[in-house]
Amino acid sequence: MTSNRLPLRPLEFLVLAVLEDEPLHGYGMVQRIESLTGGVVRVRPGDLYRVLYRLEKRGLLEPSPKDGHDRRSYYGLTALGRRVLREEAEVLRRVVAGVGVTKKASPA
């Protein structure tokens, strides 16, 4: 079934990527995406929650139990989400390996 979810849109991939290690809330995701991409990608909240809404409907992530009295919702990957993330990362790795710029930049 995972194959049916591919390919992911860029923002979907990023969301799944930052959730790989631990569940996060929305604000946390925005911050992690920003640091992960070196400040290149700044996610607007509207876009983020639209993607969360979609990924949840597709069963790739789920609300995660929150700790203590935090009112914000946390989201984590489902098993399916984790597999989709891995497959997509593999695809991207292959793509990246084939791009000229990276080849040139790498030592000969």
Partner 1 sequence: MNPRRVWIRALLALYPESFRKVHGPDLIEMYSSLEVGLLGASWDLLQNAFRVRLEDAIDHTRPSCPLPPREHSTGLLDGLAQDVKGSLRVLRSRPAFSAVFVATLALGIGANTAIFSVVNWVVLRPLGFADPDDVVRVWWRPDSFNQRILVFFQERGSSFSGLSGYSGWGFTLVGEGEPEELSGAVVSTNHFSVLGVRPLLGRGFAPEEGEPGRTDVCVLSEGLWRRRFGAERGVLGRRIRLAGAGRTSCAVVGVVADAEATLDAFGPRQAFLPLERAVDLEKDESWFLSVVARLKPGVSLEAANAEVKELSRLVRETMYPRTSAEDILSARVERLQDAIVGTEVKGQLLLLAVAVALVLLSACFNLAALLLARYGERECEIAVRSALGAGRGRVLRQLLTESTLLGLAGGVLGAGLAAATSRSLASLLPPELPRTEGLAADANVLLFALGLSVAAAVAFGLLPSLRASSKSGTLALRRGAASGGPNGQRLHRGLVAFEIASCLVLLTAAGLVLDSFLRLSRTDPGFDAESALVAAVSAPDGAYPEAVQKRELHQALLQSLASIPGVDEVGSIHILPLDSSNWDFPLFPEGSVLLPSERPPRANFRVVSPGYFRAMGIPLLEGRELTGADREESSPVGMVNASFARAIFPGESAVGKQVRLFRPDGQSFEIVGVVKDVRQHGLALEPRAEMYRPFEQWSLGRNEIVLRASVDPASLAPSVRRAVAAVDPNLPIVRLSPMSEIVAGSLATSRFVTLLLAAFAALALVLAAVGVYGVASSIAISRRREIGIRMALGSTSSSVLRRMILSGMVPVLPGLLAGLIGSRAVSQILLTLVPNLRPWPPAGVLLVASFLSAVALLACYMPARKSSRVDPMTVLRLD
- Binding residues (CB under 8 A) for partner 1: these are 3-4, 6-7, 25-27, 30, 44-47, 49-50, 52-54, 57, 63, 71-73
Q: Which is nearer to partner 1, 76 or 101 (CB)?
A: 76
Q: How many CA atoms lie within 13 A of 85 on its CB side?
A: 22
Distances (CA, A) of 67 to 17, 32, 79, 108: 22, 20, 21, 50
Q: Which is nearer to partner 1, 21 or 47 (CB)?
A: 47
d(C-alpha 107, C-alpha 57), whole Å: 44
Q: Which is nearer to partner 1, 4 or 106 (CB)?
A: 4
CB of 99: closest distance to partner 1 in angstroms?
Answer: 18
